[in-house]
Amino acid sequence: MKFIEPNVTLIEEKDPYKKIELAGRVCYKSESKITDDSAKKFVRGLIKSTHTAMLEHKVFVFEIYDDSAVYTEFLRRDNYFHVTSEIIKDKKGYRNRVIASASVRAICQRGINDPIYRAIYKEYPDVCYNINPSALELFDYVDVRIIDVEKEYINFNVKELIEHIYFTFRIITDRGVTHELVRHRPCSFAQESTRYVNYKDGISIALPSGYYAKPHYVQEIYQDAFEHAEKCYKELIEECGESPQQARAVLPTALKTEIIITTNLKEYIHILNLRYKGTTGNPHPDIKVVAEKINYLIKAQMRNHPLNIENILNIDINSREYRNV
């Protein structure tokens, strides 16, 4: 049995295939199988097995010119898309510029005739899987291009940045913390699976916050419980012939797990309000440790942003002023 400390790292991988592969392999703890050319094959395997939830960890952002605003309305009705729009003036006059963002999975569900689907199919065909025609073939006039918000930041207002900047974090914590995290919407998750990962060679425990500050006899009670759970799990696997998905019933809540979370800055503001700042009541000490690390990493990223908007995490996303931007 090993004791580990909670940890959070920012995943900065830009390649769609490699990022999706990493998310999928964390679930099965098969990261050692990642090679320079394994990503596309792995992604196609996910699609073939309909394990398309992993495709949610690659998000594309689009700039769309839709002067009729009809296609924009279709996007707004899609719960898996984030959509902002404003009237701008360029060489062609006043135009309706739309910024939309969504995961690969959400985009593919719209069908091959959708202008956004066609945009990613042209660049990344191996992540596309839904070839069923949609009802949107009439929108050929819509101008769509994939953009990098971080590179084209100067063209966007604060609300557009909050809605369309995404972060993906790899979090090492216990399963109690992840039970709280996965309640947040809209987010995408990929978690180490106790159904398929076999811990017969020993479990890892994410230590409760303040563990070493507790009296020695309290630490011993914790450790006895962890060791007994490990012993029972191993006996169920090796002596009783139980599978990992059956034997996991005796594993403790403090079992170390890894989870990848992807969502936009707007949702991270909400998560941090609840899990770090405690705006609705005191957060659990263990999730507060994780949230504090997320807060630090996002601030570090925004501190380096050319717009110097480090305090963006303090914006009230529920205010009338924000909604009316």
Q: In terms of Cα–Cα distance, which of 277, 175, 269, 194 is closest to 28?
A: 194
Instruction: List, as one string, the DSSP characters of 237-281.
Output: HHTS---HHHHGGG--TTBEEEEEEEEEHHHHHHHHHHHTS-BTB
Q: In terms of Cα–Cα distance, which of 103, 11, 100, 26 is closest to 57?
A: 103
CB under 8 Å, gap of 24 or more: what pairs does 187-190 form? Answer: 187/261, 187/262, 187/263, 187/267, 188/53, 188/56, 188/57, 188/103, 188/261, 188/262, 188/263, 189/259, 189/260, 189/261, 189/262, 190/23, 190/24, 190/26, 190/27, 190/53, 190/54, 190/57, 190/259, 190/260
Q: Summarize the chain as % helix, strand, coil (round to 5).
A: 45, 20, 35
Tell me the three state secondary structure of residue 54: helix
What are 229's two structure tokens? 């759970």
Question: Catalytic one among 76, 195, 275, 320?
Answer: 275
For tokens 């899987």, the residue is 129
Write out the E strands in 104-209.
Answer: 143-147, 166-174, 188-191, 204-206
Q: In terms of Cα–Cα distance, which of 4, 141, 133, 122 is closest to 60?
A: 122
CA dist., res. 224 & res. 119, Å (int)? 56
Look up 44 and say whether it is catalytic. no
Task: Please identify every residue annotated as catalytic.
Answer: 275
